[in-house]
C-alpha cells in the first residue's frame, strides 16, 4: 500500500507536538450503489464524482448510492492520540463506517465535517474505511432543487487528522475551533477577540497562546490565557494600533495568526490562519462602503463545476477561475448557490474580492418543485447548514454577506417565518456581517434580510435589456430605506452561434447568438453604472455550468449564460466589454464579433473594446482613423470590405494591437 502524507500544519518549537494532517485522497475503490458483485470496483483518486451522465445532458442522471472504500494502516505509535477523518465535501448525504461499524452520518453536500474514528480503529493493523454516499433528492436535506447539477461523490479532499489528547475541537459544525472577531475597526485601531474550542483533559496547567504577525512575519501582538477544566472554550482579546486594513482589490492585506495550546511547557496543538482588518456598511442611497470609502461592487456569480470533471475540482482549477475573474476586473463574487471549497474563500481573501456566501436554500425559480417544506427535519437541516457555512468560514475578511435564500415563493408552505429564524440565527452566530437574499418575487419576503437583491433578466426572459434601469428606479422608490441590489442578470450565448444582425432570440431555443448577449450586457452595465444606490450587482454567470435538465443553446445539459465557456478556454465578447469597463490597470484592445469570419455584405460595423482612451483601426494596412470610446466601446460604421480576405487591426498606444481576418 502506498502512503501519501501531506503535512499541512507543523510545529516549529523544539518541545511539544502538533497535529499531523495526512491526505487520504489516494487508493480508493469506488462502486455504484447498484453494483452487487464482489471484487468489482474502479480504483480512483479523490476528488471524484460519478455523474458523467449529467455532464452529457442526461436529464435523469443517476441520483442514488455510491460506495467508497480504502484500507488504512494505523501505526501502534499512535496509541493515545485522537484520530479524525475530515471530509471537505461529500454530496449529498454521507455515512461513514470503520471496520464495518457505523461512525457518523452527515447531511449536506457542500460543507466539511469531522468524525472521531479513535474508538473504531485497530492499531498496528489495516483498517477498512467505507463511505456510503447518496445524492438522491430528499425532502429534509437542502437543496431540494436547483438550476444546476447535484453531482454525487466525495468531490473534495479527505484528510486524516492525528492529534494529541489536548487539541482544538473539530466538532463545532466542522470548523477548526478558532474564531477571530474584529471589533471597533478604524484606521487608528482595531480590537481582536479570539475564541478557541478545545478537547481533552487538563492533567497540568494549560494556556492558550496567541500571536499576530504582519505580512512580513513581524509579531504585532501576542497574549496568553489560562484554560479551565470546567469549560472547553477560552477567549482572549488584543488591541492593534494603526492596523493595515484589508482594502479589497486595491490592497488585500492579510495578517497571520498562530493559536497554540500549551501544557507543561509543551505545545500540543497549533492552528495557523490569515485575517484581515476591515469595516464596511451599505447605504440605501449610495451603496457599499469599504473602510469608509464608496466601493461599487462589480460582481459575478460562480458555480463550482466545469466541463468533463463536474464539481471534482483541483486547486489549480479554483486558482484559474480567480485569475480569469481578476483579469476581467471583478471585485465581488457571489459564490452561488451553496458553500464552496475553502480554497475559494482563501483566494478571495488573497485577491481582495468582496464575497457573498450562501446556503443552498434554493427555490423553484421557473420550475414546478418547491424549495421549502414546512417540516422540522428540513428546517433543522437548513439551520445546521447555515451554522456550518458561518462557523467554517468565520475568519475570512472577504466575506461581508451571508446569503439566506434564492428565488423562494410564498405559495403553499410559506417560508417567511423560517427565513426570519435563519436571519436571527445568522446574527447570533456572527454579528459583524450582513444577511442578504436573492429574490424574484414581490411581497414581504423581500423585507426579511438586512439587505436584498433581485434576480432580473430584462432582455432575456422578457422585455428589453434597457428595462433594468426603470425597474431599479421603481424598486428604489418602493423601498426607500432598503439597500437593494441585483443578484443575477445575464443572457445565454454560444461562441458557435453567430449572426450579422442584432436580433433578439428566444431564451429556451437552441439559438443563442453571441452578439445578443454582448448587447444585453452593454445595456445593463450602462444602467447599473448610473445608479449608485445599487449596493451590489452580480453577473449570472462568470462561467457556463452544468444543468442537465436544460435543452437549449448549442447543447443539452448546459446553462450558457457564462461570460467564459464551460471549459474556461474561450472568453466571450461580453467578457472583454466588462474588462474594458472594470479593469483599468492592464491595457488591452479587443475586436468584437471575431468569430463571425464570413460576412454577407461589404459595408460592416466594427466594434472594439479597450480600456485605453484612443483606438486606431486599420483595414488592410490603411488607417481608418482614431476614435474615443464610450463605456470602453469604440465603433466604426460603414467599414467597406474588399472581396476576399480582409485584415482588421485595432491599435492603442499602451495596449498593443488586436488583429482579425474577415472574408467577404
Residues forming the active site: 407
Contact between residue 253 and residue 247 where contact means Cβ atoms under 8 Å apart: yes
DSSP single-letter state for residue 197: E
Q: Is the dihedral of CA 397, 399, 401, 402 positive or negative?
A: negative
* Main-chain dihedrals φ then ψ at residue 410, nearest 5 degrees: -95, -5
Grid look-up 434554493 returns 362
How many residues are recorded in the chain?
A: 664
Euclidean distance between CA atoms 155 and 315, whole angstroms? 12
Residue 39: how many other CB atoms lie within 10 Å? 6
* Main-chain dihedrals φ then ψ at residue 299, nearest 5 degrees: -110, 165
Q: Taking the C-alpha atoms of 288, 352, 342 and 46 in order, what is their torsion angle to the nearest 10 degrees?
A: 130
Euclidean distance between CA atoms 182 and 431, whole angstroms? 10
Whether residue 566 has a cis bond before it, omega within 30° of 0: no
Q: Collapse the DSSP code of 471 into the 3-class scheme (helix H, G, I; strand E, B; otherwise coil) and give the result.
A: helix
Euclidean distance between CA atoms 129 and 99, whole angstroms? 7
Q: Residue 207, CB half-sphere, CA atoms under 13 Å: how many?
A: 11
Q: Compute the chain's Rg from CA coordinates.
A: 27
Euclidean distance between CA atoms 183 and 185, whole angstroms? 5
Euclidean distance between CA atoms 208 and 429, whole angstroms? 22
Q: Collapse the DSSP code of 607 into the 3-class scheme (helix H, G, I; strand E, B; otherwise coil) and give the result.
A: strand
Q: Which residues contact 374 (CB under 8 A, 6 or more apart)?
A: 413, 414, 415, 418
Q: Where would I find the beta strands (DSSP E) of 359-410?
A: 399-406
Euclidean distance between CA atoms 591 and 617, whole angstroms? 10
Residue 203 in grid coordinates? 492533567
Contact between residue 633 and residue 646 where contact means Cβ atoms under 8 Å apart: no
DSSP string, 530-590: T-TTEEEEEES-SB-EE-TT---TTSTTEE---SB-TTS--B-HHHHHHHHHH--SS--EE
Nearest to 490 by CA among 405, 438, 563: 563
Euclidean distance between CA atoms 454 and 80, whole angstroms? 54
| 559 to 438, 453, 541, 554: CA distances (angstroms) | 19, 21, 9, 10
How many contiguous H segments (helices) and E segments (strands) does the chain have? 8, 42
Euclidean distance between CA atoms 138 and 423, whole angstroms? 24
Euclidean distance between CA atoms 481 and 437, whole angstroms? 16
Whether residue 159 has a cis bond before it, omega within 30° of 0: no
Amino acid at each position: 500500500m502506498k502512503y501519501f502524507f501531506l503535512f499541512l500544519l507543523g510545529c516549529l518549537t523544539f518541545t511539544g507536538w502538533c497535529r499531523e494532517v495526512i491526505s487520504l485522497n489516494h487508493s480508493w475503490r469506488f462502486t455504484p450503489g447498484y453494483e452487487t458483485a464482489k471484487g468489482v470496483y474502479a480504483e480512483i483518486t479523490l476528488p471524484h464524482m460519478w455523474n458523467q451522465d449529467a455532464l452529457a445532458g442526461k436529464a435523469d442522471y443517476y441520483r442514488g448510492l455510491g460506495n467508497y472504500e480504502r484500507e488504512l494502516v494505523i501505526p501502534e505509535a499512535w496509541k493515545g492520540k485522537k484520530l479524525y477523518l475530515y471530509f471537505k465535501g461529500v454530496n449529498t448525504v454521507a455515512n461513514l463506517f470503520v471496520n464495518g461499524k457505523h461512525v457518523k452520518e452527515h447531511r449536506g453536500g457542500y460543507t466539511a465535517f469531522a468524525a472521531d474514528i479513535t474508538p473504531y480503529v485497530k492499531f498496528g493493523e489495516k483498517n477498512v474505511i467505507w463511505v456510503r454516499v447518496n445524492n438522491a433528492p430528499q425532502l429534509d436535506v437542502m437543496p431540494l432543487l436547483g438550476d444546476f447539477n447535484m453531482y454525487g461523490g466525495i468531490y473534495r479532499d479527505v484528510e486524516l487528522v492525528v492529534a494529541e489528547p489536548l487539541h482544538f475541537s473539530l466538532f463545532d459544525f466542522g470548523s477548526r475551533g478558532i474564531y477571530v472577531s474584529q471589533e471597533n475597526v478604524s484606521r487608528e485601531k482595531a480590537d481582536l477577540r479570539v475564541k478557541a474550542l478545545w478537547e481533552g483533559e487538563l492533567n497540568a496547567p494549560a494556556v492558550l497562546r496567541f500571536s499576530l504577525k504582519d505580512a512580513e512575519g513581524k509579531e504585532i501582538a501576542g497574549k496568553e490565557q489560562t484554560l479551565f477544566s470546567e469549560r472547553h472554550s477560552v477567549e482572549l482579546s488584543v488591541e492593534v494600533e494603526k492596523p493595515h486594513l484589508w482594502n479589497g482589490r486595491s490592497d488585500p492585506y492579510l495578517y497571520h495568526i498562530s493559536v497554540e495550546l500549551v501544557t507543561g511547557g509543551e505545545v500540543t496543538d497549533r492552528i495557523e490562519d490569515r485575517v484581515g482588518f476591515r469595516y464596511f456598511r451599505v447605504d440605501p442611497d449610495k451603496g457599499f462602503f469599504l473602510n469608509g470609502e464608496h466601493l461599487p461592487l462589480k460582481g459575478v456569480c460562480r458555480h463550482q463545476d466545469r466541463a468533463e470533471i463536474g464539481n471534482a475540482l483541483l486547486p489549480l482549477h479554483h486558482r484559474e477561475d480567480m485569475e480569469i475573474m481578476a483579469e476581467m476586473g471583478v471585485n465581488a463574487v457571489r459564490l452561488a448557490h451553496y458553500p464552496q471549497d475553502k480554497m475559494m474563500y482563501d483566494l478571495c481573501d488573497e485577491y481582495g474580492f468582496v464575497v457573498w456566501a450562501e446556503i443552498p436554500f434554493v427555490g423553484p425559480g421557473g420550475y414546478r418543485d418547491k424549495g421549502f417544506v414546512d417540516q422540522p427535519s428540513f428546517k433543522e437541516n437548513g439551520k445546521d447548514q447555515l451554522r456550518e457555512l458561518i462557523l467554517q468560514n468565520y475568519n475570512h475578511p472577504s466575506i461581508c454577506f451571508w446569503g439566506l435564500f434564492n428565488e423562494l415563493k410564498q405559495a403553499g408552505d410559506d417560508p417567511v417565518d423560517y427565513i426570519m429564524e435563519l436571519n436571527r440565527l445568522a446574527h447570533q452566530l456572527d454579528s459583524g456581517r450582513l444577511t442578504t437574499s436573492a429574490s424574484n418575487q414581490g411581497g414581504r419576503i423581500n423585507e426579511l434580510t438586512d439587505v436584498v437583491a433581485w434576480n432580473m433578466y430584462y432582455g432575456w426572459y422578457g422585455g428589453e435589456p434597457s428595462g433594468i434601469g426603470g425597474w431599479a428606479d421603481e424598486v428604489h422608490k418602493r423601498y426607500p430605506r432598503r439597500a437593494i441590489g441585483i443578484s443575477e442578470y445575464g443572457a445565454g450565448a454560444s461562441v458557435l452561434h453567430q449572426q450579422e444582425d442584432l436580433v433578439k432570440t428566444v431564451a429556451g431555443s437552441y439559438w443563442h447568438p453571441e452578439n445578443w448577449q454582448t448587447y444585453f450586457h452593454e445595456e445593463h452595465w450602462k444602467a447599473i453604472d448610473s445608479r449608485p444606490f445599487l449596493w451590489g450587482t452580480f453577473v449570472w454567470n462568470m462561467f457556463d455550468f452544468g444543468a442537465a435538465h436544460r435543452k437549449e443553446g448549442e447543447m443539452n445539459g448546459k446553462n450558457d449564460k457564462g461570460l467564459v465557456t464551460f471549459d474556461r478556454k474561450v472568453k466571450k465578447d461580453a467578457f472583454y466589454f466588462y474588462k474594458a469597463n472594470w479593469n483599468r490597470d492592464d491595457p488591452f484592445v479587443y475586436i468584437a464579433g471575431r468569430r463571425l469570419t464570413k460576412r454577407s455584405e461589404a459595408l460592416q460595423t466594427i466594434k472594439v473594446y479597450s480600456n485605453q482612451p484612443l483606438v486606431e483601426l486599420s483595414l488592410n494596412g490603411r488607417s481608418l482613423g482614431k476614435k474615443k470610446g464610450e463605456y470602453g466601446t469604440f465603433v466604426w460604421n460603414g467599414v467597406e470590405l474588399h472581396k476576399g480576405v480582409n485584415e482588421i487591426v485595432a491599435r492603442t498606444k499602451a495596449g498593443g494591437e488586436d488583429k482579425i481576418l474577415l472574408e467577404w
